[in-house]
């Protein structure tokens, strides 16, 4: 069973179908995932003079030398193979004059970004894999199906209890291996590039049966998400900066020139500088300037994105584009090894829900889609090799049922909105102990509202889930007292700048956690 329908889930389903029958479960539709909205592309080294070593170096440096070196090596080498396999399957990456049109993004030292449809890479990859999933007779797709409980007996995960939204019925799905590919939790922030479904379900589901959650404080903010007063948010791809777009403050000044890589510095640096510029001025955004660039080229390279900007009433040939950071990618998640194994027999995790350590303290642009392909395949290979050794999943436990109390939706929405505000203000791009402790106290007060809610009820379960994740994010941010990558403590010096032993410090944090 695969839970989740982003790139990691779809790829896991196709790989698993080589070994047996597969059930792919998603709480919305196959097209509703963060992967679908991924714009930049997928990073891979397929041509000289670029090298695996160069891509690895960029990944480690962007991650502030905090990453799992073994995981990085696996990502880069197996990722190149995965992209080659996609090309052989017919994935239509962009070409120019018969050659792949490779992009450049922040933190990369070479053009190695494969794109499709310009800034529609995620959509085109998801559509491509969905067509293969739909046509595979070994894969059963269950959309609008909410997983509310992982079945675990004697340290073995044997499937999950689910609720079918439209039928209002319940079922238990048994499986010899279960793979969580449920995505991240940045949808808990008030301003996010992710769909509203990104609420970290996989985290609280797995934690409830004993899985360890790791590095939840590391939340990457995309520097350039579209801004307007209505609250509309969509990505303005980093690829535009790769082609020469310039960031300007409210005075029209270019403010990234003090950095060697300028607008193409790693994302944590760019997001933090934008945040600081916004604090100095009387507008809640900075602007992205494309006016000096070849607009016809952009129309050809990024047609969907340029059209989206125009639909918002702006003309990139004449107008500056308002942008501000938004919660984008969760580096932390369920602790796994490089095979996606969670420590619970029969249960695996891959993609954004998993924390392999591959991104360190700051993800290198366009490594996320690569991560989905590489670690979903590894999880399937490991799971299939061990599945015959497990007790067959003829679980004897009774099916669980959820009560659906519509009155609980008001409490869920109220608490979700309160969490969104707290996280944006106190656990965002810059944090400090005072603000984090205030947020923790507020979250604890919210939890008191649910103390007498012992019944298994749909809205109560979801509310407790998002409260638990928010609580853990804030606690982890308090415990990590020094700044590192996307975790920036304004009341502390930078661990990276001090060049301390990051591995030793990481071990200390895990022990505290």
Q: Among candidates 380, 329, 378, 353, which has minimal Cα distance to 138?
A: 380
Contact 221, 267 (CB under 8 A): yes
Strand partners, 330: 219
3-state secondary structure of 497: helix
Task: Calculate the average pLDDT of the chain.
Answer: 90
Token couple for 502: 């990051």
* Cβ-based neighbour number of residue 339 at 10 Å: 18
Token couple for 161: 């209890």
Strands 139-142 and 22-25: parallel
Token couple for 1: 């069973």
Q: According to the model, what pLDDT value does residue 388 have?
A: 59
Superfamily of domain 2-218+331-387: FAD/NAD(P)-binding domain (3.50.50.60)
Q: According to the model, what pLDDT value does residue 386 have?
A: 81
Cα 349 to chain centroid distance, Å, stands at: 13
Contact 314, 292 (CB under 8 A): no
Token couple for 421: 């505000």
Instruction: Measure the CA–CA gap between 349 and 340, rounded to whole angstroms.
Output: 5
Token couple for 387: 């599945």
DSSP 484: B
- Please report where in the chains the tokens 């990618």 appear, as a residue: 329
Q: What pLDDT digit, counting tens, does each position of 328-381 carry?
A: 999 999 999 999 999 999 999 999 999 999 999 999 999 999 999 999 999 999
3-state secondary structure of 122: helix
Count CA atoms within 13 Å of residue 92 on its CB side: 7
Q: According to the model, what pLDDT value does residue 35 have?
A: 84
Roughly how many angstroms between the first and final C-alpha of the chain, as a whole number?
Answer: 30
Phi-psi region of 318 (alpha: psi -120 to 50; beta: other; left: phi over 0): alpha
Hey, where are the domains in the chain? 2-218+331-387, 226-325, 408-512
Class of domain 408-512: mainly alpha
R_g (Cα) of the chain, nearest Å = 22
Domain covering 226-325 assigned CATH 1.20.272.10 in the classification: no
- Where the chain has pLDDT below 50, the residues are 391-396, 498-513
Q: What pLDDT digit, counting tens, does each position of 435-472 carry?
A: 999 999 999 999 998 888 766 899 999 999 999 999 99
Element spanning 465, H or E: helix 458-479
3-state secondary structure of 40: coil
Instruction: Measure the CA–CA gap between 227 and 235, rounded to whole angstroms.
Output: 10
Q: What pLDDT digit, counting tens, does each position of 229-264 carry?
A: 888 888 898 889 988 999 999 999 999 999 999 999
Q: Give the list of residues 6+ apart from residue 349 with CB closer than 8 angstroms, or none.
A: 179, 180, 181, 202, 206, 211, 333, 334, 336, 340, 342, 379
Token couple for 343: 């420590």
Strand partners, 152: 157
Contact 369, 103 (CB under 8 A): no
Q: Among candidates 107, 383, 399, which has minimal Cα distance to 269?
A: 107
Contact 67, 60 (CB under 8 A): yes
- Taking the CA atoms of residue 60, residue 107, residue 180 and residue 225 in that order, the dihedral angle to the nearest 10 degrees is 150
Q: Give me the phi and psi of 461, to 5 degrees please.
A: -60, -45
- The residues annotated with a catalytic role in the active site are 267
């Amino acid at each position: 069973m695969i839970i989740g329908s982003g790139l990691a889930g779809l790829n896991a389903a196709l790989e698993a179908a080589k070994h047996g029958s597969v059930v792919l479960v998603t709480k919305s539709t196959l097209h509703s995932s963060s992967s679908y909205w991924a714009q930049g592309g997928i990073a891979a080294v397929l041509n000289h003079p670029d090298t695996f070593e160069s891509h690895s170096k960029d990944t480690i440096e962007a991650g502030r030398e905090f990453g799992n070196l073994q995981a990085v090596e696996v990502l880069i080498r197996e990722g190149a193979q995965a992209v080659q396999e996609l090309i052989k399957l017919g994935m239509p990456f962009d070409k120019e004059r018969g050659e792949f049109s490779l992009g450049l993004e922040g933190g990369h030292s070479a053009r190695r970004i494969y794109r499709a449809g310009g800034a529609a890479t995620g959509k085109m990859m998801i559509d491509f894999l969905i067509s293969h999933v739909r046509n595979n007779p070994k894969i059963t797709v269950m959309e609008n199906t909410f997983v509310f409980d992982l079945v675990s007996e004697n340290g073995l995960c044997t499937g999950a209890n689910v609720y079918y939204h439209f039928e209002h019925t319940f079922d238990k799905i048994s499986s010899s291996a279960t793979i969580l590919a449920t995505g991240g939790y940045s949808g808990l922030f008030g301003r996010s590039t992710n769909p509203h479904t990104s609420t970290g379900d996989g985290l609280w589901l797995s934690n409830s049966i004993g899985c360890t959650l790791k590095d939840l404080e590391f939340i990457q903010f995309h520097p350039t998400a579209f801004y307007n007063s209505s609250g509309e948010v969509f990505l303005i791809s980093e690829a535009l900066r790769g082609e020469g777009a310039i960031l300007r403050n409210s005075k029209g000044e270019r403010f990234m020139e003090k950095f060697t890589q300028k607008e193409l510095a790693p994302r944590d640096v760019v997001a933090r500088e934008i945040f600081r510029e916004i604090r100095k001025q009387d507008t809640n955004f900075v602007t992205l300037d494309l006016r000096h660039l070849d607009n016809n080229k952009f129309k050809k390279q990024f047609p969907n994105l340029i059209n989206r900007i125009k639909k918002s009433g702006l003309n990139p040939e004449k107008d500056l584009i308002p942008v501000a950071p938004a919660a984008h990618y969760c580096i932390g998640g369920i602790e796994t090894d490089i095979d996606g194994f969670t420590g619970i027999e029969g249960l695996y995790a891959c993609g954004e829900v998993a924390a392999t350590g591959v991104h360190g303290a700051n993800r290198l642009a366009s490594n996320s889609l690569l991560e989905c392909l590489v670690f979903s395949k590894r999880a399937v290979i490991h799971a299939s090799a061990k599945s015959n050794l497990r007790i067959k999943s003829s679980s004897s436990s009774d099916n669980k049922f959820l009560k659906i109390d519509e009155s609980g939706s008001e409490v869920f929405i109220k608490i979700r909105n309160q969490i969104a505000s707290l996280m944006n203000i106190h656990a965002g791009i810059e944090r400090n102990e005072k603000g984090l402790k205030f947020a923790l106290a507020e979250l604890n007060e919210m939890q008191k509202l649910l103390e007498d809610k012992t019944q298994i009820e749909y809205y109560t379960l979801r509310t407790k889930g998002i409260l638990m994740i928010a609580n853990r994010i804030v606690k982890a941010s308090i415990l990590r007292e020094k700044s590192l990558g996307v975790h920036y403590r304004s009341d502390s010096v930078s661990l990276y700048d001090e060049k301390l032993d990051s591995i030793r410090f990481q071990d200390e944090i895990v022990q505290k956690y």
